[in-house]
Amino acid sequence: MSLTPWKSLWETRLPSFREEMNKVFEDFFSTAGLPSLREGGLVPAVDIHETKRDVVITMDIPAIDPKDISISVIEDKLTVKGERKREKELTEEASYRAESVYGSFQRAVQLPTGVIGAKAKATYKDGVLKIAIPKPRKVVPREIKITIE
């Protein structure tokens, strides 16, 4: 009588299921699960910090004409829209590698309450958009005496 090596149910009956699950996890984690990255969309990196007077937002958006950028502040929400245009279309035969992302983008950022959006200032230099939005002045509480009649 010959011995047959033992194989688990996972190895014998479910190999296609195992392969499918592996594909699902690889697809999900290879793009961090972000649909916009899977679709090849442009998602600019954003940093936000405060100074004594302003909330400062910096956004990496290289190779974009500043004319193709739109910035708006509505209440406490900053929205930046733009488009990175390809200079000329490349054919697959002429391209060795194409990793740059082109197309339109939109990023919305929630700001601290009370910023003064009407006084926001923006600069664009070396592919970095910098937006400074003034914070509201601190209200100094004062006591008002009220006499009771």
Per-residue model confidence as pLDDT tens digits over 55-82: 999 999 988 889 989 999 998 899 999 9
CA distance 66 to 88: 19
Q: pTM for this structure?
A: 0.63
Highest mean pLDDT among 43-47, 69-73, 74-78, 84-88: 69-73
Domains with residue ranges and CATH for the chain: 8-40 (no CATH), 42-86+101-137 (2.60.40.790)
- Asked if the model's pLDDT at residue 137 lies above 70, the reply is yes
- Cβ atoms 69, 84 nearer than 8 A: no
Structure tokens at 129: 């958009």
